[in-house]
A and B are shown apart, each in its own frame.
Chain A
C-alpha cells in the first residue's frame, strides 16, 4: 500500500503543478481526452501488470495491436462480417496467442523475455505482410457501436474510461480476493514453494498470459477505432513499454509477486499526465520520451532506496536467530 500512496502523491503533485502553470490542464476537453487515453492504456497495462506479477514480461503487446488491427479491418471492411462476430473472433485469436506464449513459458520453460521478443518481431512482420504494408482504415462511417466504445462518452466520461473502471473492478476482485489471485502472487514470488503447496503453477502462469491477452484484445480494439486506421509498420509500436512502465511505476516488481491493480491504474494515469505536461508546458515534443524516462527512473529509484532502508531496519530488528529463551535478553525486538 505504501508504494501506491507514494505514486498517488506524485500524481497529485504533478497535476497541481501543471494546473498552476497552464490552467488549460483542467479544461473539460483536456480532461476528457486524458481520461480516454488513460482508459485505453489502463486496460492493457493491467494485463501487463498481471504478467509481471508472475515474474514474466510481455514485449509483444504493440505488435499484437498491429496484427489484430489489420485483421480487424479486413474482417469488417473486406469480408463484411458482422461486428459482434468480428469482436469475438479477434478476442479468441488474441487469447490463443496468449495460450501459445503461456505454454512456451510455463510448460517448455522458455524465458518470457525471449518468447515475447520473438512475438514482437513475428507479429509485426506478419501484420505488414498481410496488409501489404499499406495503411488500412475503417472509413468515416459505419461500425457505430465499436466506434462508440472508443470515441463515445457516457455523460462527460469517455467510454474507454468507463470500461477501464469496470475491468479494473473485476481485476481487482480477481487479483486481491480470489484464489487465482493469491496463487498468482505465490507463483510469482516462489514457484517451488507454491508447487509444494499443491498449486498447479504452470496452469496459473499460462492462464495469466491468456487473461492478459484478453485485456490486450479489448484495449487493441479500442485503440484501433481511436486511431481509425492501422498503419501496420508502426501501429501500437512501443505500447508494451508504456504498459511495463505503468506497472512498474505502480509498484509491480519485475522479480514477481508484487503489485496491485490500483497501483497499475495510477501508474497509467501518471504516464498520461506526463505526456500531457509536455504538450501543455510547451516543452519540445521531441523531449517527450526523455521526460517520461527521467520521471520513471526517479520514481523507481526513490522506491528502491526507501525499500532498502526498510529492509535494513527489518534485518536489524530480527538480527541472527535468537538463541534459547534462557538467554538474559529482553523480549522486545523493537528497532531503535
Chain B
C-alpha cells in the first residue's frame, strides 16, 4: 500500500487541479458576458458549467477528484433592445448571453474557498511528514 501521507498530497493536488479548471470556466463566462452573435437573430455565447466526479486512483486506493464534464447552461438568453446591433432581430432585440455576474462571482468565491482548503491540506501533510523526519534529528 502506498504511503497515506504521500497519497494525501496527491489527492489534494487533484483537488487543486479541479478547482482551477472551475476557475477557468468562470473566467470564460465573465469574459464572454457581452458576446453576442454576428448575424441577425443568432444565438450569443452560452454560459458553461463545470461538474466534478470522484475517481478511484487504483495505485493508492484513494478517491481523487476530477472534472466530469463541462456542460452548457440551457437557461433562456436575456433579450435587450438594441436595433443598431448587427445581431438584432427584426423587432430590434438582441439576444445577450445567459451569464449573470452575481452567479459567476459567487461561483468564483466558492472555487477560491475550496482551493484554499486544498492548500491547507497540502501544508498540513507536509508538516506531518516533517514531524516524522524530525524524529531522526533528535
A joins B in a complex: no
**A residues apposed to B, CB below 8 Å:** none
